[in-house]
């Protein structure tokens, strides 16, 4: 499954076809996989040397990296063709 846009709207398309999927009828596994390869978010964390830093996580919460600051975190996310998401 992949996230794409059509006519300025975000839609979900399966990998096998271009037919959009109804997000109201996704399985739990499909729902959890949304954005895993495309979206990352940042949380406060400690670096290896015990300093305050930022942890980068995939959309499903899997840890990807820990960096020194928010600017570096967003740069790493963008460099890997991912979309940074803000958490509220």
Tell me, what's the pLDDT at 51?
Answer: 93
pLDDT of residue 59: 85
The reply to whether 46 and 23 lie within a common domain is: no
Which domain does 86 fall in, by range?
Answer: 39-88
Say if residue 19 is in the same domain as residue 59: no
Backbone angles phi, psi at 47, to 5 degrees: -75, 175
What's the average pLDDT block by block, 10 residues per block, for the chain (88 residues)? 64 58 71 77 91 91 92 94 81
Domain count, the chain: 2
Q: Residue 1: what pLDDT? A: 57
Predicted local confidence at residue 64, as pLDDT: 93
Q: CA torsion angle for 58, 33, 13, 87 (degrees, to 10)? A: -40
């Amino acid at each position: 499954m992949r996230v794409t846009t059509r006519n300025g709207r975000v839609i979900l398309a399966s990998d096998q076809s271009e037919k959009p999927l109804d997000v109201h009828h996704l399985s739990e596994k499909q729902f959890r996989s949304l954005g895993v390869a495309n979206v990352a978010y940042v949380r406060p964390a400690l670096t290896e040397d015990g300093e305050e830093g930022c942890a980068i996580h995939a959309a499903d919460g899997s840890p990807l990296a820990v960096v020194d600051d928010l600017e570096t975190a967003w740069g790493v996310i963008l460099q890997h063709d991912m979309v940074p998401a803000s958490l509220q």
